Chains A and B, each alone.
Chain A
């Protein structure tokens, strides 16, 4: 049973517009959430994170929103750029599991010119 779900395998967005990637989770013990970005033939790289005590975290063009009651988080990229084309993974962790990461299946973001 997947504890972290990314229900959209792919997403296509026009360059300059907003990209919204979604992630749902089932384990209420998760208290830290991270987004990773992955290019082909490379390892994932950390993008942005959010603690469960917050509902928003911003870093430049990237903003993560957390809705604990809905067990849902989203990553907003504004404006979207061609270099943002990649696979985005949502990951969650809990203090009582020594912060091991549980990963979603990923969403492939394609930025169209």
Chain B
């Protein structure tokens, strides 16, 4: 299994509070992604990174920010959590050209509940 960990695995927070989710990899993959999974929507890309300090927005980036100061860590921040951000968040990594084209390896997920 690819070495990807996410922390915390579960979090309950209140509306308006800041939340940071962490993704840590030991594979030295260049690309890292944050997705959210909601019923009826599959996985939707929030932000991704293609290198240290290089990030870009995905399909559902509003209300989220990311940072990548080291190859191994990719942080997702909800500056002021809202109930609509209650979801399961997955981190993924990939190394273009090394594996099956487009293949991504996923972490175990973080279940976030915003009350």
Contacts and interface: CB of A to CB of B under 8 A. Distances in A.
Interface of A: 4, 6, 9, 32, 34, 41-46, 49, 51, 89, 91, 93, 98-101, 103-106
B101 A106 contact: no
A32 B105 CA distance: 17
Interface in B78-115: 90, 92, 96, 100-109
Contacts of B52: none
A23 B105 CA distance: 21
Given A93-B102, A99-B101, 5 more contacts: A6-B42, A32-B102, A43-B106, A103-B43, A103-B44
Contacts of A44: 43, 90, 106
A100 B48 contact: yes
Nearest to B91: A43
